[in-house]
């Protein structure tokens, strides 16, 4: 549920902030993802949250980690989630290529989401995108 | 001066200072940061001729990449080493990466400090000398955490009986420019110089390192390297 994901995000934001202060440098995406995993796994009987933790750090560059319901944590080249994701597994598996540049990735995300929004009754409205690289974050908004 | 929870009129906490005195009675520990790693050496005084060699260890690995030497009350040291190992394990579980030595040293300092704040507890009577490798930075580091709660990062450090003379000796040799293998002999030499043959029992030299040679894993220096160092020193 959205409420669970917000609550978990708040918790992880606090722990990762502390962690970054202790280390004296930027937290890694891996440690943030593992923090999500710790919270989700230890409270698996009370939470229902599927999370994708992705970003950039100077150690491994861009990374995507999936933390689905139950609290697994696995790194993947790309990840999809939510009710609409079931309709686009075929599409993303055929369309994704390693080493796409920034614009190709944005196109990939936008097309995938549009397909899901078209088919899934519970998906729709707008697309909110965040692009994260070593220079920072950029937010994109695509109206339905 | 009987309580940790009391200051003296001249602004000291005597119980903490007495804890440091307990450490001064223990065999010397020397830590040096070399070009390609960190080496810890311990003067393990043999309390009995019947002690099996290699027992009563004062140097422990608390994780794959961190080695810790205990100076002072060894029973206190055992508890501290267990705590350090728990911190390492918990960090790895929560964050998915090995604990940076800096974070471990600061956590242990915080742990030490907690025991200087309550009248019901006494400060730990042991100092931890910590040698480790930070994979993210690619740096090997040497830290020391004391019962006062002080912690510092060092090029070379000594604690225990022969602290004063050991520190002078360490400053003499430029350990930062030696490799760990080269440093072994000099470390053994300092230990033999500092050891008081007249007043003290014979000692066993315990050596441990985290170096590029061991793939940045904490390991005991192999027996033949240690014996060679001892032979060279004498």
**Residue A144 clears pLDDT 80, i.e. is over it:** no
Q: Which whole number is the average pLDDT over A81-92?
A: 93
pTM: 0.87
pLDDT in tens, A87-116: 999 999 999 999 999 999 999 999 999 999
CB contact under 8 Å between B95 and A25, yes or no, is no
Give the pLDDT band (50/70/90) at residue B164: very high
- The DSSP-derived string for chain A is -HHHHHHHHHHHHHHHHHHHHHHTSPPPHHHHHHHHHHHHHHTTTT----EEEEEEETTTEEEEEEE-TT---EEESS---SGGGGGTHHHHHHH--TT--HHHHHHHHHHHHHHHHHH-TT--S-EEEEEEETTEEEEEEE--
Smallest CA-to-CA distance from B67 within B167, B160, B180 is with B180
Q: What percent of chain B has pLDDT over 70?
A: 100
List, as ranges, residues 78-117 from A with C-beta within 8 Å of B. none
State both tokens at B37: 């790693």
CA distance B89 to B99: 8
**Residue B28 clears pLDDT 80, i.e. is over it:** yes
Give the pLDDT band (50/70/90) at residue B1: low
Q: Which of B94, B97, B103 sits opposite A28 (nearest CB)?
A: B97
Phi, then psi, of A106 in degrees rounded to 5: -60, -45
Give the pLDDT band (50/70/90) at residue B55: confident
**Residue A135 clears pLDDT 80, i.e. is over it:** yes
CB contact under 8 Å between B94 and A34, yes or no, is yes
**Residue B163 clears pLDDT 70, i.e. is over it:** yes
Q: Give the containing element (helix H, strand E) for B130.
A: strand B126-134
Whole-number pLDDT of residue B187: 92
ipTM: 0.79
Whole-number pLDDT of residue A37: 94
Q: What percent of chain A has pLDDT over 90?
A: 85
Best A20, A23, A29, A60 member to test B by mutation, with max B CBs in 10 Å, is A23
Average pLDDT, rounded, for chain B: 92
Q: Which of A22, A35, A73 sits opposite B103 (nearest CB)?
A: A22
Average pLDDT, rounded, for chain A: 93
Q: Which whole number is the average pLDDT over A19-44?
A: 93
């Amino acid at each position: 549920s959205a409420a669970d994901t917000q609550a978990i995000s708040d918790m992880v934001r606090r722990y990762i902030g502390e962690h970054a202060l202790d280390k004296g440098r930027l937290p890694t995406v891996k440690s943030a993802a593992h923090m999500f995993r710790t919270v989700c796994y230890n409270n698996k009987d009370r939470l229902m949250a599927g999370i994708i933790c992705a970003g950039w750090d100077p150690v491994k560059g861009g990374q995507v980690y999936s933390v689905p319901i139950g609290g697994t944590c696995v790194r993947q080249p790309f990840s999809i989630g939510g009710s609409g994701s079931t309709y686009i597994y075929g599409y993303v598996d055929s369309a994704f290529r390693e080493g796409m540049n920034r614009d190709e990735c944005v196109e990939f995300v936008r097309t995938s989401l549009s397909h899901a929004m078209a088919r899934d009754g519970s998906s729709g409205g707008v697309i909110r995108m965040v692009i994260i690289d070593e220079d920072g974050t950029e937010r994109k908004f695509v109206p339905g | 001066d009987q309580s940790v929870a009391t200051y003296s009129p001249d602004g000291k906490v005597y119980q903490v200072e007495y804890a440091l005195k307990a450490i001064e009675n223990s065999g010397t520990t020397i830590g040096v940061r070399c070009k390609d790693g960190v080496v810890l050496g311990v003067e393990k005084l043999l309390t009995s001729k019947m002690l099996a060699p290699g027992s009563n260890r004062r140097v422990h690995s608390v994780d794959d990449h961190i080695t810790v030497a205990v100076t002072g009350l060894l029973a206190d040291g055992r508890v501290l080493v267990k705590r350090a190992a728990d911190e390492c394990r918990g960090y790895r579980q929560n964050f998915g990466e090995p604990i940076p030595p800096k974070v471990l040293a600061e956590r242990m300092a915080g742990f030490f400090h907690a025991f200087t704040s309550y009248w019901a507890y006494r400060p730990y009577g042991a100092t931890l000398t910590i040698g480790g490798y930070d994979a993210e930075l690619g740096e090997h580091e040497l830290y020391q955490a004391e019962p006062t709660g002080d912690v510092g990062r060092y090029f070379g450090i000594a604690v225990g009986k022969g602290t004063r003379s050991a520190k002078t000796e360490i400053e003499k040799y430029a350990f930062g420019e030696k490799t760990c293998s080269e440093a072994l002999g000099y470390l053994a030499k300092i230990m033999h110089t500092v050891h008081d043959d007249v007043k003290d029992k014979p000692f066993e030299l315990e050596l441990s390192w985290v170096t590029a040679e061991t793939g940045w894993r904490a390991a005991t220096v192999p027996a033949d390297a240690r014996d060679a160092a001892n032979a060279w020193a004498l």
